[in-house]
Amino acid sequence: GQNIDQPTEMTATEGAIVQINCTYQTSGFNGLFWYQQHAGEAPTFLSYNVLDGLEEKGRFSSFLSRSKGYSYLLLKELQMKDSASYLCASMDSNYQLIWGAGTKLIIKP
Amino acid sequence: GAVVSQHPSWVICKSGTSVKIECRSLDFQATTMFWYRQFPKQSLMLMATSNEGSKATYEQGVEKDKFLINHASLTLSTLTVTSAHPEDSSFYICSARTGERDTEAFFGQGTRLTVV
């Protein structure tokens, strides 16, 4: 079946580093997305991984291990504006997205 | 990135009335558009997939007679919630892809629907 798991909530301190994990079971896996969603707003695209390894984009990095069905989003130098939900989504063989429930990240000063 | 405009951003309607939500791709042609709904603190749930010029494909459990989707052009898709009830109150979001194999989905701003 199709399944995505990520923690419900995480708390971190401003200026620190946080890693949000995501595990998936997706038939015909076609890549893994991370989106950021502020309350009441639509998700915005952060990253896409289809090959194993780490992709770095400024303060945000995303990692994928296809053999383990595992990904993480790494946020460095946390800022208060990073407080949001982070959604993990995998793409299946039909190019459809399967969404996780999201991880609410709370940043404390 | 490409821009998807969704309108209205929020709407309050009376129970029993219908509400139309528009989703436009402003600077690209969207062959495929997706409609999602999201309840508070829950994941995005795909309601239906629409391809320009053809009937939408609805996900299991979504009433196609209640949630009417029209994708009449390559830049516009509409979702009409017919005979709305309070349980239809939700956040509705559209997204679009330029082609079947494009991996990035561009999202509209979302529409907060409240049925009173």
DSSP A58-88: TTEEEEEETTTTEEEEEE-S--GGG-EEEEE
Q: What is the DSSP letter of B53?
A: T
Q: What was the pLDDT predicted at B27?
A: 84
CA distance A27 to A43: 24
Quick: pLDDT tens for B33-61: 999 998 876 778 889 998 888 889 999 99
Q: Please give the residue that has the higher pLDDT: either A17 or B108.
A: A17
CA distance B68 to A66: 38
Q: Which residues contact A16 (CB under 8 A, 6 or more apart)?
A: A78
Distances B50 to A43, B25, B70 between C-alpha atoms, Å: 20, 14, 8
With a cut of 80, say whether residue A40 has pLDDT above it: no
Give the nearest partner residue to A45 out of B41, B45, B104, using CB atoms. B104
Strand partners, B32: B51, B97
Closest CA to A34 of A85, A77, A69: A85
Distances A57 to A31, A46, A61, A87, B51 between C-alpha atoms, Å: 17, 9, 6, 17, 32
Closest residue in chain B to residue A85, using alpha carbons only:
B41
**DSSP for B68-103, written as a single string:** EEEEEETTEEEEEE-S--GGG-EEEEEEEESSTT--
Q: What was the pLDDT predicted at B40?
A: 76
Q: What was the pLDDT predicted at A60?
A: 96
Q: What was the pLDDT predicted at A15?
A: 97
When pLDDT is cut at 50, 70 and 90, the band that residue B106 belongs to is: confident
Residues of chain B with a CB closer than 8 angstroms to some CB in chain A: 1, 6, 41-46, 49, 91, 93, 97, 100-101, 103-110, 112
Q: Please, what is the average pLDDT of chain A?
A: 92
With a cut of 60, say whether residue B88 has pLDDT above it: yes
With a cut of 70, say whether residue A12 has pLDDT above it: yes
CA distance A86 to B106: 16
- Determine, for residues A41 and B43 on separate chains, whether the beta-carbon distance falls below 8 Å: no
- Determine, for residues A45 and B110 on separate chains, whether the beta-carbon distance falls below 8 Å: no
With a cut of 80, say whether residue B28 has pLDDT above it: yes
Mean pLDDT of A76-89: 96
Extract the tokens encoding A1: 């079946």
With a cut of 80, say whether residue B74 has pLDDT above it: yes
